[in-house]
Chain A
Amino acid sequence: MADDSNVYYTEGLPVPETPDPGKEPAFWEQTDVVGKRTPRVDGYERVSGTAVYPSDLKLPNMIYGAILRCPHPHAKVKKVDARRAKKMPGVRAVITGDSPVAKGLKWKYRSYTGPLFDAHCRFEGEVVAAVAADTHYQAWDAAHAIDVEYDVLPFVADHDKALSDKAPKIHEDGNLAGTDEYERGDIDKGFGEADLVLEQRYETQCELHTPMELHGCVANWDGDRLTIWESSQGVYAVQSDVSEVLGMPLSKVRVVGHYMGGGFGSKLWPGKYTVLAALLAKQSARPVKMILTREETYLCVGNRPANTMRLKAGVKKDGTLTAFDFDCIGPSGAYPGGGTALVDWLVRDLYKCDNVRCKSEDVYINAGVARPFRAPGHPQGSWALEQMMDDLAEQIGMDPIDLRLKNIPAVCQGRGGIPYTSTGLKECIERGADQFGWKDAVKRAKKQNQSDSHIKRGVGMGACVWFVGGGGPPSTVVIKLFRDGSVNLNMGASDIGTGTKTVMALVAAEELGVKPGVIQIEHADTGTTQYATPSGGSKTVPTESPTVRNAAIDIKRQILKMAAEDLDEPAADLDYEGAEIVSKKDKDKRIKITDVSRLKKRGVVVGVGYRGPNPENKSVNPFAAQFCELEVNTKTGEMKVLRFLGAHDSGRVLDRLTYDNQVFGGIVMGIGFGMTEFRQLDVNQTGKLCNRNWHDYKLPTALDVPVDMESLPIEIDDPEANNTGAKGLGEPVTIPTASAIANALYMATGIRFTKAPVNPIEMRRHLSARKEG
């Protein structure tokens, strides 16, 4: 057992006051461990290689799965002949649509339900057959030995053509997946009041998540009980979907996801591969490891849809925005996936404007289905709105920062005018610009651009709000306090690389006075840990951190009651001081927590925390502004991002180290969205995906990011949001990045890049076109 000096950091420091039963805890006025730069509690595992990711798992007798997928964007499977495959060395199970185990099984894409094996393949990469064999190589040999006859059908892969009469119908009802309309005020009146009206078309390209760890799982049966180790953002979501498909009780499906190698939204749910692994394991009576190939992750586990947008905006000479009119089209893919989800949110909510109309058309195309991708819709909408704001500012002769500051909304307009619990939009822009040295940077750039040098310079910025980011119920957390004072924290939430475990350890440590290092964490296991929704929507910290705090407070209340017996004083008259319980009236009357009789006798005290409700009729949102400076070589088209600053209002910072890491990481991903990444479908000839690997689909590398990156937290007390005052961070960090780059590119070149991404080829094309006039 540990002694007190190893467990507590407090030694006389008070821990936060324990609220009376039924009362909410007070907002932390100051913190001892929360907010510092603390390395991760699971850092050792991750850097030593002892962390076992689902891809790393090897069970006794385990075999390997592989999936044969439809090579056509649109086809009907006429016949599947697996006889050759079944006879191949090492093969232990083969499943096709004709297999009895697969009969009647359904798969859901949001509102759409279809067969698990659908003979009508609506996208390249649809499942046709699955194999399990002794080695990964044998499984692939066998998958390739399955003979399939297809009726190849006409396809549509261009979302702008999906609704044309000539486009083949992907579903019986046609290719319109859904529409969304929004209106407030009167845009005609608004445009009538404007001194300047601008209209522009913008395009963004389809971006693929491609997390470093491939999608996949290991599935194992013990009789009628199924255990799945899945690389996942939410084990309870996987449990729910798998049990639904297989018609099993939730209690018989255990999903474990202790470590996972990134998801960005693409691992919020399981895939068909998860169910196939379970079916193959059942058929072979062996554990099956089913890890997709990198190519498969390009085809069938989600994307950020491409969007074509039109934005018309009206402004008065003094910078007052009078109207926005926004249209957007985007593809869900072959099934409902949210092709235009939230693309219009920034237009609705970011800047004060009384007259707004938005219309979105979500369409089907013959391509992989979209999944939420880090701030769904927002980087696309930002690409349009933030470039438009700069254009408006320029034409009315205002600094782009001043135009934004002129239009800071006091309330959440997108939700009918309810207040935000806190908004740091103004501070993010003002303090961010100040810290960045905006005015000097603009002067420097303009001076350089007046010179003869072919190296041009630009600075640009963008701001944002994120649609949600306040978290909310449900969530349950259990904390165990052992008799030596050390602590076990049990929660269902996944740590997707954002540092969830570390942050939660800090919250428990803050409240209980124990060192974060002595907190052992059990998480992301439906069999042994508490219920949590998937880690996504920038909601894990604001959902789980108040829940952890509540669980810690439950522990403290119980310990106070127990100590009351030892000290013969009412619990209400006692203070919890980390290592000791002390009488408020008589400071000499104290007992070490480890000496509390009932704790010693019981061995452990269990505290349970629940996530309370969010405030009614208020909106909890994070805000941000990002600033960048870059250079363009106008001879070669090469661009170099010189520096970036992210000023983020995500409420209280819980761990500054992981916080900064998140900010920088979001900027890197935004650089990818704005400058390097695009899915290229062969829209005219085959409909197939042309760039299905990291060689042809370029992610930002260490050479594409600026060494000079700065994170400026704008911490605004937000006791209304939740009891830790933390708001989400993981998504806002990537929203305004690309638009800030586009605005800087405009300053450098005078060219308005309305089509993302802007890579050197695109830059060169524009420069040449301008030269030729």
Chain B
Amino acid sequence: MCSEHRDNDGAGKGGMTRRGFMQIMGTGAVGASFTGAAIAAKSRPAPPEKILEATDAVKIRLQINGVDHAVLVEPRWTLLYVLREAIGLTGTKEGCSRGECGACTVLIDDIPRYACMTLAVEAEGRRITTLEGLMTGEELGPVQTAFLEEDAFQCGYCTPGQVMAVEGLLRKTPKPSIDEIQLGVSGNLCRCGAYNHIFRAAQKAAKLKIK
């Protein structure tokens, strides 16, 4: 698994610590808003002012594909659940709900993340990009176009996650080697086994993006 996919287990690369998460839970309760930058900053974490029950609803704002959404969520709801069931962005798929398959990969501040391993409250203040966010109106983005042309999918269910993993890879590494591509999508399972076409699509997408 490549480091970009190791969600929520470290403060590096804008990742989030367990403590930071506790903090957001506390601040959510009193209605204060922390920015993502503030969370990433290595300030000494204060103890939470209040611990919420899992079922207490919290109002949060999520910035998804450039649009602000105010949503009422339970603190235990994952970003994946909120995207799909509350907001209706079903391009992001659910495959395992436990960070194994990558079907739910979205970009958070340009880095591929598993939405099933990210609580919605953690994502407040972050820039969330989903598959739908790669479109310009009804035009496919370059990675999507490359996937279509290279037939880089079969059933299509892991595809949104694969596309987002490649998008994240290319934002960081515009001209990836084949090894970097394999590593870049290694956190995304494809049971149909369309990996070889995915590699080709990633190569083509890199070219399309540079054009």
Contact = CB atoms under 8 A, between A and B. Distances in A.
Interface of A: 39-40, 43-53, 55-56, 58, 89, 135-137, 209-214, 259-262, 264, 291, 293-294, 496-499, 657-658, 660-662, 664-669, 693-695, 699-703, 705, 707, 709
Nearest to B155: A497
Interface stretch (B16-24, B42-50, B196-204): B196-204
B39 interface: no
Given A53-B90, A212-B190, A657-B151, 20 more contacts: A39-B149, A43-B151, A47-B153, A48-B132, A48-B140, A56-B84, A212-B158, A214-B94, A260-B155, A262-B154, A262-B157, A264-B191, A293-B97, A497-B192, A499-B154, A664-B194, A694-B96, A702-B195, A703-B183, A709-B196
Q: Which of B93, B148, B155, B163 has the most C-beta atoms of chain A within 10 angstroms of its own C-beta?
A: B155
Nearest to B131: A49
B188 A702 contact: yes
A55 B93 contact: yes
Interface stretch (B6-14, B26-34, B98-106, B107-115): B98-106
B91 interface: yes
B131 A40 contact: no
Q: Nearest 7 CB-CB pairs, A to B?
A: A49-B91, A668-B193, A261-B157, A497-B155, A46-B156, A497-B154, A665-B193
B182 interface: yes
B88 interface: yes
Nearest to A46: B156
Which of A39, A49, A55, A695 neighbours the largest number of chain B CB atoms within 10 Å of its CB? A49
A658 B44 CA distance: 54
Interface string B111-148: 00000000000000000001110010010100011011
Contact of A58 (B85, B138, B154, B188): B85
Given A261-B155, A294-B96, A693-B100, A49 B90 contact: yes
B197 A664 contact: yes
B98 to A, nearest CB: 6
B159 A40 contact: no
Contacts of B185: 702
B78 to A, nearest CB: 10
B141 to A, nearest CB: 9
Interface residues of B, number: 61
Contacts of B97: 293-294
A666 B196 CA distance: 12
Contacts of A668: 190, 193, 195
Contacts of B190: 212, 668, 702
B55 interface: yes
Contact of A212 (B88, B155, B186): B155
B182 A211 contact: no
B179 to A, nearest CB: 9
A756 B172 CA distance: 39
Given A212-B101, A293-B97, A49 B197 contact: no
A56 B194 CA distance: 22
A212 B148 contact: no
A705 B196 contact: yes
Interface of B: 55, 74, 76-77, 81, 84-85, 88-98, 100-101, 103, 130-132, 135, 138, 140, 144-145, 147-149, 151, 153-160, 163, 178, 181-183, 185-199
Nearest to B98: A693
Given A212-B189, A695-B98, A702-B198, A259 B149 contact: no
A137 B77 contact: yes
5 contacts: A48-B91, A661-B154, A665-B192, A669-B193, A700-B195
Contacts of A669: 191, 193
A49 B140 contact: no
A496 B131 CA distance: 22
Contacts of B101: 212, 694
Most chain B C-beta atoms within 10 Å of own C-beta, residue among A43, A260, A660: A43
Given A211-B155, A694-B96, A661 B189 contact: no
Contacts of A705: 193, 195-196
Given A56-B84, A694-B100, A210 B191 contact: yes
B134 to A, nearest CB: 9
B81 to A, nearest CB: 7
B151 A212 contact: no
A709 B194 CA distance: 11
Contacts of B156: 45-47, 51, 259, 261, 497
B75 to A, nearest CB: 11
**Interface hub of B88, B153, B189, B196 (most chain A Cβ within 10 A):** B196
Contacts of B144: 47-48
B199 A707 contact: yes
Contacts of A703: 182-183, 186
A681 B193 CA distance: 26
Contact of B140 (A44, A53, A262): A44
B168 to A, nearest CB: 14
Contacts of B160: 49
A259 B93 CA distance: 13
A189 to B, nearest CB: 44
Contact of A214 (B92, B95, B130, B189): B95
A703 B190 CA distance: 12
A56 B181 CA distance: 29
B85, B92, B160: residue with the most chain A Cβ atoms closer than 10 Å: B85
Contacts of B163: 47
Given A49-B131, A693-B98, A707-B182, A39 B193 contact: no
Nearest to B178: A707
A137 B101 CA distance: 21
A39 B150 CA distance: 7
Contact of A43 (B76, B84, B103, B148): B148
Contacts of B181: 702
Nearest to B99: A695
A168 to B, nearest CB: 33
A49 B188 CA distance: 17
Contacts of B89: 49
A665 to B, nearest CB: 4
B155 A213 contact: yes
A702 B201 CA distance: 13
A56 B130 CA distance: 15
A449 B37 CA distance: 56
A694 B189 contact: yes
A47 B147 contact: yes
A702 B182 contact: yes
A213 B95 CA distance: 6
Contacts of A135: 74, 85
Contacts of A291: 94
B176 to A, nearest CB: 12
Nearest to B181: A702
Nearest to A699: B189
Contacts of B98: 294, 693, 695
Nearest to A710: B196
A259 B178 CA distance: 31
Of the candidates A40, A44, A213, the one having the most CB atoms from chain B within 10 angstroms of its own CB is A213
A215 to B, nearest CB: 12
Given A58-B88, A210-B191, A136 B81 contact: yes
A45 B90 CA distance: 12
Contacts of A47: 140, 144-145, 147-148, 153, 156, 159, 163
